[in-house]
A and B are shown apart, each in its own frame.
Chain A
Amino acid sequence: MEREFPKLALDDEVLMMVDKPARYIGCEVNSVRKDLKDIDVRFCMCFPDVYEVGMSHLGISILYDMFNRRKDVWCERVYSPWTDLDKIMRERNIPLFALESQDPIKCFDFLGITLQYEMCYTNILQILDLSKIPLLAKDRGEDDPIVVGGGPCSYNGEPIADFFDFFYIGEGETRYYDIIDIYKEKKKNGWSRKQFLEKIAELNGVYVPAFYEPVYNEDGTIKEIKVINSHAKPQVHKEVETHMSDTYYPDKPIIPYVQAVQDKVTLEIQRGCIRGCRFCQAGMIYRPIRSRKLDFLKEQADKMIQNTGYEDITLSSLSSSDYNKLGELVKYIMDKYTSRGVNISLPSLRIDGFSLDVMGKIQDIKKSSLTFAPEAGSQRMRDVINKGITEEEILKGASDAFSLGWQKVKLYFMLGQPFEQEEDVKAIPELADKIARVYYEIPKDQRNGKCNITISTSFFVPKPFTPFQWAPQDNSETFIAKQQLLKGHLMTMLNQKSIRYMWHDAKLSVLEGVFARGDRRLSQVILKAYESGCFFDAWTDYYDNEKWLKAFEECGIPIEFYTTRQRSDDEIFPWDMIDAGVSKRFLLAEYKKAEKAEVTLNCRERCNGCGAASFGVGICFDKIGAL
């Protein structure tokens, strides 16, 4: 047990001026401290949002542990300073620093930034700026850290490509050690930055944007993507972890002092999804589904709970009902840890008898709410998006839940999905009403008053590597009109008093839509927006739509080109140099099926030849899929 700690980068005066100073002191239980003389490579992992958000992210937790297991590497963390500290750091010229050593980011070998959502792009610039690293990759010198991006948005990193030295495409457990080894050689042999990037470009999973040049047509679409460096490959294939039960997973997750948004231990039970919902990027880019062995999960649960003392554990995956040993895992954790006051959280479940049984055991039914994600109100729309659930199943699930004592139900839907008609929008409150009617069919003396149904809609954003990457996105006027239609129609429902409606901001979804399918020309817009003061865009209090619109205008970039435009079948996408495992041919076929509301069976029911089988693992080869 250590007693020493590093000298803080921020002095007491600053720390006492800012909100939650514990965000910036490090020293958390299970954070890793190493001696600089024992290590060769310094890596700084960054989540470009405030500490409490970043500390909830599992990906960094896995990579942090993975890097620190290497004796010659020290991995530390950095998060976006909150707006109050940001202001002070600029005024006083205080450089951004990593938490563990409190050393400036500028002296690190690598800065790894995780890209989880598009609205954090300006925060990437904040991090680089405060670290005094040149924002554009081409301006960086030999002593600047190598800036790498990973995570879902790296599948189309084009809008931010100018800010990154390279992107790591795919799952982080596999290729980083090779990259570190090559980096050590670079230092030993005195290679330049460019030589290093050329060497790693030859590895699978590494995309160096500077080695590619998109060429545009008159109409703004892409004519071709030129490969301008001989070390770069025409397509970069994603990395896939093929040994899910024999790979890095943290035994001792860091315990933050400041309460994180997700203040619990997270156990990823499987990766990927069999369902093939057409709007879902995660379901496509994490194919094929690979589950972890039950013994591995039990062991990890033991280590994480016992090494942290956390009171909550989340079992996480895209569709946890599809994990075939879920019941056993839940029983194991409950039997062992409930008496110690540990609660289990199980999101992403289908609503069926099995789930209700499990949830009844782990939750206080009277107080918690049950969440369904039908995503569409009419059966036709559910078939369009390939969300394989029927109205019968939804109503039966609701009926079972109500008879077990649940009273609060939350329903998630999306507005603006491709081929949506007015009656599909109206079907949403109609479905909620049908669910309410199921509740009120229970005799009055057997139920406890009213039920509480919440409809929550978000606006659909077409994502790369999904069948809907060709689809036009609704503009904000259409979004709002649909919202109004829904609200109005809800008022005419029999049980409207039992139903509440919550919705998201349309303007933010439009901007997300621009960046999701954006190209390199957008980097100037992001720069302009950042320079005009935009950051923390994911926070409603700080998001400034006017400033963003102005940035687009000043750069002469039309938003609609990226959002409302229908793509042609043979269009070259800005992300075509990346191979996510699922073929473009398959995605286009799915898009055509969507137009006819034709359903595609899930991976367990039938293989549809999407291309993910090329990785040689998972559901494609083993019906159970546990590795």
Chain B
Amino acid sequence: MKVRFKFAKYGPIRFVGHLDLMRYFEKVTRRANIDVAMTEGFSPHQILSFANPLSLGITSDAEYVDFELKSLDLLSYEKEIPEEEKIKTFPEGAFVKIDEECSEELKPLWNVLKAMDDQSGIGFRMLSARVLHEWQKGEKKETAMSLVRGADYYIQYMKPEKLKEGEDFFGDDFWNQESYIVTREKKGERISNGHGGFKKSKVTIADVDIKPLVKDFSHEKADFLPEGTDIEKLHTSDFYDKASMHMYVRLSTGSIDNLKPEVLMQSICKFRNVEYLRSDFRIHRIEQYGQNEEGGYVALCDMNK
């Protein structure tokens, strides 16, 4: 069965890259004795996948990793659990949260989540687990990565001294624009070189309007954010000074139409004629979303597929 785990990544661990995350999780599940399914062949690997990768330096309360599990049993070196007794299936949509009580029936899932959390290094916290839909033949398979359409961020600007007197970095003068311009390098396209091969055309620099990819924004807690979002409870870095200038934004995210929060910041810097330095910002991902049939955003942890 496929289980989607939601986890927080914070503190100094914001500097651990996405590729290193996979190796980290493989070891966590081994330490936690989770019954992970392996690929076939001589050198078996665990079957896992992530949702939208998090850029270096960003903290998050909503990262996702999907694991293919053979059962919900916690393996033991002393005693092997007979195959017939293993919990190999579990109701689709079964959902547990780390610090909430759950019913007896859901206990096995919660035990897996807790075992993973107990083996988490500092800077990681396991938050929830959900049993996903088993894809049948003929169905169009979706992965966490292919499902993501949007993400919410909490962004703080740490250098008010770079601004003009009285200027608010996240002021409405920016948001009220018809378009949000940012200067991007467009990767060269592959053009035929006439001998049956390809060459890349020159990299072009162009101004791009990213406003369509900004789905929502607010200076204070707003309706579009997940219920119960509380800045005091989010796993932002413990050593962030409380910045006076901050913003909540929802951005289009995923394999199509992906807008990184840093790029939005570049646009504001361009508008305000201020030097853009990535480290002038504290960025925290609050949630990742898929979309339902009506086009509305649904948090990934609320989706079964």
By the criterion CB–CB under 8 Å, are A25 and B122 in contact?
no
B56 touches A16 (CB 8 A): yes
Is A340 at the interface (CB under 8 A from chain B)?
A: yes
Give the most central of A11, A25, A257: most B CB within 10 Å. Answer: A257
Complex contact B122–A309 (CB within 8 A): no
Q: How far is the CA of A28 from the CA of B121 in the complex (A)?
A: 7
Asked if A7 contacts B45 (CB within 8 A), the reply is: no
State the CA gap A3–B12 with chains docked (Å).
Answer: 11
Q: Which of B13-21, B105-113, B172-180, B184-192 contacts A (4 or more CB under 8 A)?
A: B13-21
Q: Could you mark each residue 1-31 of chain B with 1 if its beta carbon is under 8 Å from any beta carbon of chain A, else 0?
A: 0000000000111011100100110111111
Q: How distant is the Cα of A26 from the Cα of B11 in the complex, in angstroms?
A: 11
Give the nearest-CB partner of A311 in chain B: B26
B279 at the interface (CB under 8 A from A): yes
A13 to B: closest C-beta gap in Å: 4
Distance in Å from the Cβ of A555 to the closest Cβ of chain B?
42
Report the minimum CB–CB distance from B112 to chain A (whole Å): 15
B73 to chain A, nearest CB (A): 14
- The chain B residue with its CB closest to the CB of A306 is B31
Asked whether A5 and B11 contact (CB < 8 A) given A29-B121, A257-B24, A309-B27, the answer is yes
Query: Which of B36-44, B199-207, B242-250 lines the interface with chain A?
Result: B36-44
Task: Give chain B nearest CB distance to A367 CB in angstroms.
Answer: 8
B residues near A257, Cβ cutoff 8 Å: 13, 16, 20, 24
Within 8 A of A (CB), among B69-126: 75, 77, 117-123
Instruction: Tell me if A22 is interfacial: C-beta within 8 Å of chain B.
Output: yes
Residue B30 contacts which of A5, A13, A21, A309 (CB distance < 8 angstroms)? A309
Q: Provided the pairs A13-B279, A27-B122, A310-B27 are in contact, do residues A21 and B238 lie with their beta carbons within 8 angstroms?
A: no
Q: A321 contacts the other chain (Cβ, under 8 Å)?
A: no
**Nearest neighbor of A263 in chain B, beta-carbon distance:** B23
> Is A613 located at the chain interface by the 8 A CB criterion?
no
- Kindly state whether residue A364 has any CB partner on chain B within 8 Å: yes
Residues of chain B lying within 8 A (CB to CB) of residue A556: none
Interface contact B20-A5, CB-CB below 8 Å: no
User: Residue A15 at the B interface, CB < 8 A?
Assistant: yes
B23 touches which of A15, A21, A259, A364 (Cβ 8 Å): A259
Nearest residue (CB) in B for A258 is B20
What is the count of residue pairs linking A and B with beta-carbon distances less than 8 angstroms? 89
The distance from the CB of A338 to the nearest CB of chain B, in whole angstroms, is 9
- Shortest C-beta distance, A490 to chain B (Å), equals 33
- Flag if B15 contacts A25 (CB, 8 Å): yes
A26's nearest neighbour on chain B, judged by CB, is: B12
Interface residue B278 (Cβ < 8 Å from any Cβ of A): yes
Q: Is the CB of B38 within 8 A of A341?
A: yes
Distance in angstroms from A295 CB to nearest chain B CB is 16
Residue interface mask B269-290, A partner, CB < 8 A = 1: 0000000011100000000000
Q: How far is the CB of A558 from chain B (nearest CB, A)?
A: 48
Max count, chain A CB within 10 A of own CB: residue among B16, B29, B56 = B16
CA distance A302 to B15 in the complex (A): 31
Q: B261 interface residue, CB < 8 Å from A?
A: no
Beta-carbon contact of B24 and A2 below 8 Å: no
**Chain A 334-349 per-residue mask, 1 if CB under 8 angstroms from chain B, else 0:** 0010001101000000
Bound CA–CA A452/B14 (angstroms): 44
CB distance from A457 to the nearest CB of B (A): 31
Cβ–Cβ contact B43 & A309, under 8 A? no
- 6 new A-B contacts, CB < 8 A, other than A5-B123, A16-B278, A309-B26, are A1-B122, A5-B122, A27-B122, A258-B20, A259-B20, A341-B38
User: Using a CB–CB distance below 8 Å, which chain A residues touch chain B?
Assistant: 1-5, 7-8, 11-13, 15-16, 20-22, 25-29, 255, 257-259, 263, 302, 306-311, 336, 340-341, 343, 364, 367
Interface pairs (18), CB distance under 8 Å: A1-B120, A5-B123, A12-B57, A15-B57, A16-B56, A16-B278, A21-B15, A22-B17, A25-B15, A27-B121, A27-B123, A28-B121, A255-B27, A259-B20, A309-B28, A309-B30, A311-B30, A341-B45
